[in-house]
Chain A
Amino acid sequence: MENFGNNREFIKALRVNVQLYEDVVLNNKPNFRYYFPETPALDGKDIVGIKFNAGASITGQEENVGQTIIDLPSAIISENSQGIVQQPAGPQFGVGGVDLDKYLLVTIYNEKNEQVISNYPCHDLAGYYRNENGSLVNESLGKIRPFNFKIKIRNCFVSSTSDISLLTQLPPIACFTFYYR
């Protein structure tokens, strides 16, 4: 990770999916909280990086990826520049190619129940940047945001700033990769 400025290497990476809404009427309102599922493997772990994944057609939940690469191989992470959150093994969704991650924020608590990350824009965690042509790109080996805290995953949640059911027709899933040691 030194090439990308992160001065702590990760040992494992764990992918966690958050179901954003299932009932269009009940829980698709702005600022509704979608909590992360119980993930004991992450609790108390030293988080060194978080990435919000573009495309989520993933089969494996946990990958022991060693210490020398900064991200899972692109063959495992099938990323694309448009479908930021995606129904697993399903079709692309989104009305007119709306990038849903622009409407998603993530809040993270540490093991002391302190809010360490408050309303972090998911788009910023996806590693997007503009290339020399001004186009928005997201490389599969893009930069991941470096963090340093111990996480309590059951308190963490994703929130939307808009009624995302107006932007997509399928119940979306937000997919995060936590890099930890």
Chain B
Amino acid sequence: MKPIKNSYLIEVNLGSSVPGAGANLTFQDYPQLRNIFVTGIEVLDASTCAVSPSGKAVVTALSGITLTLIDKFNQEQLKQYPAVDLNPEVRSGFYRDFVPFPLQLTKSFITILSTTSLSANQSVLLNIFYVTEAQAKTPSRPRLK
């Protein structure tokens, strides 16, 4: 695991009725997450965070959810990545590191593959680890000569 320089918890709400299988739910715009490079991601369920910051119940299982992340060049950096694989609780406490890429959050989305164990008004929580553009240009430690 690389050291975390910044993190931001984001939320996708399933809505007043559970979306059908195959539905894509895009992320809303978070100003703090514009022009950032993603370094790692966690996807959390209710066993880690029972209630979202907005007061919504969090989904109890991630097995029917996948994640697709689009970079600012409209390239799919992650495509249909199983959300459960990004939950550190079932990965021996580790989170997934990525080679940093510039995220375009508003075009990224989660896909509901199975509605089993999902309920209306529940939320999916994602903890985004990132560096800003300025941090990406500056090495965190002096380079060895």
Contact = CB atoms under 8 A, between A and B. Distances in A.
Given A5-B1, A127-B93, A116 B48 contact: no
B5 A124 contact: no
Contacts of A41: none
B90 A6 contact: no
Interface residues of A, number: 35
Contact of A124 (B42, B50, B90): B42
Given A124-B42, A143-B94, A147-B3, A31 B53 contact: yes
Contacts of A142: 93
A161 interface: yes
26 contacts: A5-B94, A6-B1, A102-B46, A102-B48, A102-B50, A103-B49, A116-B5, A117-B4, A121-B9, A121-B49, A121-B125, A121-B127, A123-B47, A123-B48, A123-B49, A128-B93, A129-B90, A129-B91, A136-B89, A143-B92, A146-B1, A146-B2, A146-B4, A147-B4, A148-B3, A148-B5
Interface of A: 4-8, 30-31, 48, 102-103, 105, 115-121, 123-124, 127-130, 136, 142-143, 145-149, 159, 161-162
